[in-house]
Amino acid sequence: MKTLLNVLLRLIETARILGLNYRDLKNAEDLLMHNEFGLCFDTIITQMYEYEIEIDDELYESISKIGDRMNLKPESYTFMKELIRDESNIPKPLKDELTRIITSLIE
């Protein structure tokens, strides 16, 4: 159980680095400290998905391993594949910001 705690703490820290907001991070940490491992995991990945925070293959592999370790059905986390950064495309947050800038120049 301690290993799972450490893995989830690393997932929270990774989500923090990638820009997940403080409220969601705090909620996940609180759940983790109350041994609500499944809810902690679900909170992090659901909020990352909701905010369209892009991930790489390595992070997806970590998410998948955590899900497997927790005996979760793959469909409870495979939606995260949609967030895997495609190296040949511009990331969505950057596209959104460029659109905002271009629109402001046109107006």
- Among left, alpha and beta (phi > 0; psi -120 to 50; other), residue 81 is alpha
**pTM recorded for the entire structure:** 0.78
Most confident stretch, 65-69, 87-91, 99-103: 65-69
Q: How confident is the model at residue 94 (pLDDT cuts 50, 70, 90)?
A: low
Report the alpha-carbon angle 54-56-58, nearest 5. 145
Beta-ladder partners of 55: 84
> Residue 102 burial (CB < 10 Å; 0-12/13-18/19+)?
exposed
Q: Quick one: average pLDDT of 11-26?
A: 95
What does the pLDDT read at residue 101? 85
DSSP character at residue 89: S
What does the pLDDT read at residue 70? 96
| Continuous segment of H or E residues that includes residue 20 | none
What does the pLDDT look like over 24-78, one tens digit per residue? 999 999 999 999 999 999 999 999 999 999 898 899 999 999 999 999 999 999 9
